[in-house]
Amino acid sequence: MKYRASTTNITSEMTTVFTNITTRYTGNLYTTFPEYLAGDFLFKYVSPFVLFVGVLLNCLCFLVLTCTNMRKTSSSVYLSALAVCDTFNLLVTLTNHWLIRQFQFYYRDTDEIICRLSRFLAYFLAHICAWLLAAVTFERMFTVLLPIHAREWCTVRRAGINITIITIVLLGINLNLLWIQGSGEVTWEGKLYTVVCYVYNHDKYRHWRIHIWVWIDLVLASILPFVLIVIGNVIIITRLVMSRRERVATMNVRTGIQAGHYDRSRSLTVMLIVVSLAFIFLTLPVTIYYILDEKYNSSDKHVSNQILANMNLLRAVATELYFINCGINFILYCATGRRFRTKMKTLFCGRCYKTPITARYQTATTCTSSTTNV
């Protein structure tokens, strides 16, 4: 283990100390491998593009959701909060990756408070983004299964309460990071070293931070939200398909109101499928990286240069895909949400667009319309 140069060279809040553990066997020879160079290229030149576009799209998304009458719907409250958290996630974590790889600048090393706060936020923001998406999915599921009670439960006020509860719980889980990370003295191979902005600042935190917290983080940021989102979407889609069949079987003529309900259901189904697939495929590589990273961290065997280079490439790809997920929601809403597109045009073009005849029959005061027209 080297001094400050190696102990602070951890550029991802989704990894542990893989680089520092394995470089004692191999030096830096793996940095010349094509796989490593490809990963380095992604960090240097793709990251700023993802950062700029993602922040811009999230800002546009927030404006549409809060500066139009969509702000009166409960689902828009969740999605507005998601846009804010995604933006901060990009600014706090992806910026760190880019600055380190492109300029070798460790902004976290400049101040102990900045170090601890930024590391804490990197985990907290990753967790809350996933759980906000899970929350809005379950709200829609509740609306489909219990439409009679949905009007009472799916309100802007309750959405705010739910977001507050999620925030408090996740803050409590992540608070330990504020004191176990940072600068301090740690023992490595029988020798005491001074570390700056490290993943743990005392030997007593090493096992927790490297071998336990990594799995807690994985469950909170990926596995559990993913399972809940999939379950919720399957239930919603199944219910909508059954409702459509019932309508087709009992009606020969579709009225304007019925056509409107059908169109909204179809739009919701498409949106749920697209959002779910985006979340699954864009965050799955991070989950795979987590597992492989822990595997090599837990092994005392020699790790080859090729494995190190491959891990760097996987880390780069997983990181970029993860942060693309943080900035792609605006595109998904525009592609699958007709009401969102209409409100966006009205907001930015300064004129009112004619709505379809079936839309005139929508009852905007109901929770169903508020959660299926995003």
* pLDDT at 7 (0 to 100): 37
* pLDDT at 256 (0 to 100): 53
Domain range enclosing 356? 4-372
* pLDDT at 149 (0 to 100): 79
What are phi and psi for residue 180, nearest 5 degrees? -90, -15
- Which residues, including other chains, have CB under 8 Å from residue 35's CB and lie 6 or more apart? 306, 309, 310, 312, 313
Rounded to an integer, what distance in angstroms lies between the CA atom of residue 118 and that of residue 13?
10
Helix (H) or strand (E) holding 18: helix 18-26
* pLDDT at 341 (0 to 100): 85
pTM for the whole structure: 0.82
Count the domains in the chain: 1
* pLDDT at 369 (0 to 100): 42
Residue type, position 202, single letter: H
Per-residue pLDDT of the chain (374 residues; tens, 9 = 90+): 333 333 333 334 333 343 444 444 445 688 889 999 999 999 999 999 999 999 999 999 999 999 988 888 888 899 999 999 999 999 999 999 999 999 999 999 999 999 999 999 999 999 999 999 999 988 888 888 887 877 788 899 999 999 999 999 999 999 999 999 999 999 887 888 899 999 898 999 999 988 899 889 989 998 899 899 889 888 888 887 887 776 666 655 555 555 555 555 466 556 666 777 788 889 888 888 877 877 776 655 667 888 889 999 999 999 999 999 999 999 998 888 888 888 888 888 875 555 444 444 444 333 444 444 45
DSSP string, 90-140: IIIIIHHHHHHHHH---GGGG-HHHHHHHHHHHHHHHHHHHHHHHHHHHHH
Helix (H) or strand (E) holding 193: strand 191-198
* pLDDT at 346 (0 to 100): 87
Rounded to an integer, what distance in angstroms lies between the CA atom of residue 268 and that of residue 264?
6
Q: What's 330's domain CATH number?
A: 1.20.1070.10
**Which region holds residue 52: left if phi is over 0, alpha if psi is between -120 and 50, else beta?**
alpha
> For residue 48, what are the CA distances in angstroms to 45, 84, 130?
6, 19, 23
